[in-house]
A and B are shown apart, each in its own frame.
Chain A
Amino acid sequence: MPDFSPDNNKLTLKVVFYGPALSGKTTNLMQLHTLLNPERKGELMVLETRDDRTLFFDMLPLGLKGISGFDLRLKLYTVPGQVQHDSTRKAVLSRADGVVFVADSQLNQQDNNAIAFGNLEENLDKVGLDIDTLPMVVQFNKRDLPRVAGERELQDRWADTPWAPLIMASALKGEGVIQTFRSLLDRLYTRVDEEFRLAETHGINRQEFVDRLGRSSKSEVPHGYL
């Protein structure tokens, strides 16, 4: 649920990168930290890791200012993907406003994707959120590796879900990361605008919301392709 504090006119939104272990959630966040050029961008906080595996979470704060001092914050979190950190996943997931599900494209990881997706659904239910109405995008990462599931096949399989079309990515190479993020911003806007009248009250329309938070630092990524 969005956290609005009227005292300082500040709205904080929370987006969680979820997915099976080693699917590239932290890599996504690191690439966003590098590639994004939003209006405001904080430091990427990589909390404790062991052997390069996330123990707590990573967090990247982004922000933009609206008219009359409206302060919009977007905090991007990752969760630890390993099975044993379920209580941490649940704590990070609580009060989320949007979810990016980072799946692993490798053929031998499809079962883990399904297990992690089931775990997401279950944990969302436990923290009082509904997977069918929560703004969410599904990214299939690691397209650069050999022996990955075919895109056509994946798109067909997910065609009848609310999360079609899937976004193909190679986070390590920085491909598809911003596209994923902008797609989420678009879905997130619909929900937040309903409740907080971003366009009417704060002068932030959909295009601005996506551009000012999801602007790329590289000129070759076209502006406002959505």
Chain B
Amino acid sequence: MDTFEDDPTLSQLLNAEQLSRLHQCLSKLCREPVMLTEAHPGNDATAVEFNLDTVGWLSGGQGPQEREAAADLVSFLMLFIGKYRLAANLHHDTTEASYAELQRQNEALRESEARYRELSNQLQQKVDEQVGVIRQTQQELYESARMRSVGQLAAGVAHEINNPIGFISSNLRVARDYVKDIQAMLPDSAENRELATDFHDLLNESIEGTSRIAAIVTDLKTFSSIDQADYTRCNIRALLASAIHLVQTEYDHRLRITEQLHDMPEISGHPSRLSQTFFNLLDNAAQALGNSETRDNSRILVKALAQNDRIQITIQDNGCGIPDSHRPRVFDAFYTTRPVGSGTGLGLTVAQDTVRAHGGQLQLHSREGAGTRVLLTLPIS
């Protein structure tokens, strides 16, 4: 290993040209020519020392004294040449060491810069994601605030309508009885009979109208009271069975409903709202079958089973389906395609809100003309 402090040789201190010039100068000073060589020349020679090392041998000259003097002079010169050599070597060593250190630091700096750049990119990505989440949340917040005010309005309206519709309905029934009484008192003529029958039909239609209004009011109340929290243990199988029974009653038992209800553990939930949800979905399915409800192949499938830690409920029909253009809006409140007066547009909205409130999911798949499948997932715990 070469270091700055290694003892130099003659050829390292002086090159051939410098050595020959030194020979000339010394030979001019001496009476006989002298010669400086690295190796001992074999004849009479005097050692030339540098730093206690013999770096060369001086031969020639007229005698030992002259050689001694010349060797002294050369040693003296060597001191300065050696000094320069040492300083230059040290400078070279330290410069190389410093450069290597700088390169190392530069490398480390570059690595850390790359690391920070990557970190910065990751941060940017996270910020972008968070901005997206905030935007989404803002939108949802806005929507839910709007829905809440609509809900409050609906609840107020429902409450106000509930009382008058109650006494209207009750009065109409009494009036119907009175019509019977009046008919009995009137003379039995064809004209009177027709009048009484017509009056009776008018009142019946009105009673039906009030019960429809009452149903809408119930829907509105369910919709607006979605945040109620009186949860109990619910038997999904029983709730589904009673919802099926209800919808069959509504459609005079003309629906063909296939039930595949397996045993399921009870879950914590709001039974009346779940019932309402099941009823809404079954009613939608029945509506989708429409006039074809008596067709041989029109069917509603209701399937429910426990899988892993969730309950899966499928309600499927092979009715008219939902056109692509309507699908994005089916969960919007008050969106309905039914004739005015026959739907509030709250069925699916209530269903979805209810399922979400139970920590579950509602998925809807539909193809126009082929049918609709609604998949409900409710967590067991």
**Chain A positions near chain B (C-beta within 8 angstroms):** 14, 40, 42-43, 45, 47-48, 56-57, 59, 61-63, 73, 75, 87-88, 90-92, 94-95
Contacts and interface: CB of A to CB of B under 8 A. Distances in A.
B3 A45 contact: no
B79 A91 contact: no
Q: Report which residue of A48, A61, A63, A91 has the largest number of chain B beta carbons within 10 angstroms of its beta carbon.
A: A91
Contacts of A40: 52
Contacts of A47: 83, 86-87
B148 to A, nearest CB: 69
Contacts of B83: 45, 47
B52 A61 contact: yes
A45 B79 contact: yes
Interface string B141-157: 00000000000000000
Contacts of B51: 42-43, 45, 59, 61, 75
Contacts of A42: 49, 51-52
Contacts of A57: 90
B307 to A, nearest CB: 66
A128 to B, nearest CB: 13
Given A61-B51, A91-B94, A75 B87 contact: no
Nearest to B78: A43
B296 interface: no
A59 B90 contact: no
Interface residues of B, number: 18
Interface string B5-18: 10000000000000
Question: Main secondary structure on chain B at its contact with chain A?
Answer: helix
A88 B51 CA distance: 21
A94 B90 contact: no
Nearest to B6: A3
A95 B3 contact: yes
B151 to A, nearest CB: 74
Contacts of A90: 94, 97
Contact of B90 (A73, A88, A95): A88
Contacts of A75: 5, 51
Contacts of B49: 42
A88 B5 CA distance: 13
B17 to A, nearest CB: 25
Contact of A59 (B86, B93, B98): B86
B52 A88 contact: no
Residue among A14, A57, A62 with the most chain B CB within 10 A?
A57
Interface string B81-105: 0110011001101100110010000
